[in-house]
Amino acid sequence: MKKLLPFLASLLVLAFSSFIMLRPVADAGYQVGDKAADFKLKNVDGKLVSLADNKAARGYIVVFTCNTCPYAKAYEQRIIDLNTKYAPQGYPVVAINPNDAATVPGDSFAEMQKRAREKKYAFPYLQDETQQVAHQFGATRTPHLYVLTRQGNSFVVSYIGAIDDNSEDAKLVKTKYLENAMTELVAGKPASVSSTKAIGCTIKWKKA
Amino acid sequence: MNRLKFIVLLAGLLLTTAAQAQQVQVIKLPELQKRLARPTDTTYVVNFWATWCGPCVKELPHFDKLTTTYKNQKVKVLLVSMDYASQLDKKVKPFVAKNALKSEVVLLNETDPNTYLTQIDPKWTGSLPFTLLLNNTRRKRVTFEQEFTTEELQKQLQAFMK
């Protein structure tokens, strides 16, 4: 028993410290350099989409966005344009709507289908119904961008953050944060500015 | 006659003061930073919000109520609207009038969050609402990137002022 006690105590300390160490990481989601786990989410066409599906992709521009947030709406055309520009270079857009449709009816699957049809989205618009993917990435708002680059069969997070420095008016943009990063990433270099901040609408999480 | 003039003048003065309470000053980041850096023993409750932000609109009355509750204490509530400056007359001013806000409201007219968020607070990732409690004399500063109930807010403020 005397020998067992220190063992149990150290076990307890170990369990406790690993809890402390692991928790913030899980809360914060992905950092630049992390491998992104693949997912399987329903697209507006009813089919399931995974990162592994597109064998030709050199990477993806993953954007957590929605139908209803004024900032997401302000950036919608710019997201469409990003796909037009970068899909041919091997980095198509994958849009994911993480909002709880029970909280925001405007973000229901039917409304997503309507929006994608009206705006002729040429990229997947996926519903993250369980919100597990948004949690995994550490997305907090819409729009929230992640650029993934392929390394063999896995995808590495290479840029996190904003599209540019003026949400209201694309014509007044001075710094295109995402495009600057893409120029480097497409050339096989790491992004010199790989993390930027942006204002957005908080993701509407399911009520526990 | 003179008395009438005086009454008219007084009425006019009162009206202007009432109208002033509803004014929303548009400011740039350096102006906001200057205000937040004043060496004063007043506790600042700074809430960053926007008319388009649902959770912000919901919690805003809790903040505005502090202006009345702490009327006789050194507490100043500053509501910083993050709406676009172009929405000042269309959205922000009507909202302030409709909700009869008693606290000072300013609109932060900046476009690049990647720059200004960090300058306001390095921990701010960009979600709204965002709240800052500040007392420069006592060198105290805490931030909250979350929504408040009225009880939670009062509890945090009381703890901060102790």
Domains defined for chain B, CATH in brackets: 23-161 (3.40.30.10)
In a domain, A208, yes or no: no
Structural domain contains residue A207: no
Distance from CA of A170 to the nearest CA of B (A): 11
Residues A149 and A191 both lie in one domain: yes
Regarding whether A103 and A91 lie in a shared domain, the answer is yes
β-sheet with A125-127: strand ranges across: A35-36, A154-161, A144-151, A59-64, A93-97, A125-127, A41-43, A48-49
For residue A168, what is the nearest residue in chain B, using CA coordinates? B84
pLDDT tens digits for range A159-196: 999 999 999 999 999 999 999 999 999 999 999 999 99
Whether residues A124 and A40 share a domain: the answer is yes
Handedness of CA B26, B28, B32, B34 (dihedral sign): negative
Give the strand pairing for A141-142 and A144-151. Answer: unpaired
Same domain, A22 and A35: no
| DSSP one-letter string for A36-50 | EPP--EEETTS-EE-
CATH of the domain at A87: 3.40.30.10
Is residue A2 pLDDT above 60, yes or no? no
Say if A110 falls within a structural domain: yes
Clarify whether residues A72 and A82 are in a common domain: yes
Q: Does B115 contact chain A (CB < 8 Å)?
A: yes
pLDDT tens for each residue of chain B, 162 residues long: 566 666 666 555 555 544 445 689 999 999 999 999 999 999 999 999 999 999 999 999 999 999 999 999 999 999 999 999 999 999 999 999 999 999 999 999 999 999 999 999 998 988 899 999 999 999 999 999 999 999 999 999 999 998
pLDDT tens for residues A81-113? 999 999 999 999 999 999 999 999 999 999 999
Provide the shortest C-alpha distance from residue A52 to chain B (in Å): 30
d(CA A182, CA B148): 38
Per the structure, how many domains does chain A have? 2
Residues of chain B in contact with residue A177, where contact means CB-CB under 8 angstroms, are 114
**Extended beta strands in chain A, E state:** 35-36, 41-43, 48-49, 59-64, 93-97, 125-127, 141-142, 144-151, 154-161, 201-202
- Which band of pLDDT confidence, cut at 50, 70 and 90, is reported for residue A207? confident
User: Does A24 lie in the same domain as A46?
Assistant: no
**Chain A residue closest in CA terms to B123:** A197
Statement to judge: residues A11 and A37 lie in one domain: no
B72/B42 Cα distance (integer angstroms):
12
Binary contact (B82, A199; C-beta < 8 A): yes
pLDDT band at residue A18 under the 50/70/90 scheme? very low
ipTM of the predicted assembly exceeds 0.90: no
**Closest chain B CA to residue A169:** B111
Residues 6+ apart with CB under 8 A from B116: B29, B108, B110
Q: Which residue has the tokens 């900046």?
A: B110
Shortest distance, CA B144 to any CA of chain A (angstroms): 14
Distances in Å between the alpha carbon of B30 and those of B77, B81, B116? Answer: 19, 16, 10
Q: Is residue A156 part of a domain?
A: yes
Task: Give the rounded distance of the alpha carbon of B58 from its chain centre.
Answer: 15
pLDDT at A28: 74
Residue B52 in contact with partner chain A when CB distance is under 8 A: yes
Report the run of H or E that residue B43 belongs to, with start and end: strand B43-49
| pLDDT for A3 | 57
Where in the sequence is the domain holding A45, given as residue range(s)?
A: 31-202
- E strands, A91-173, in order: 93-97, 125-127, 141-142, 144-151, 154-161
Same domain, A163 and A78: yes
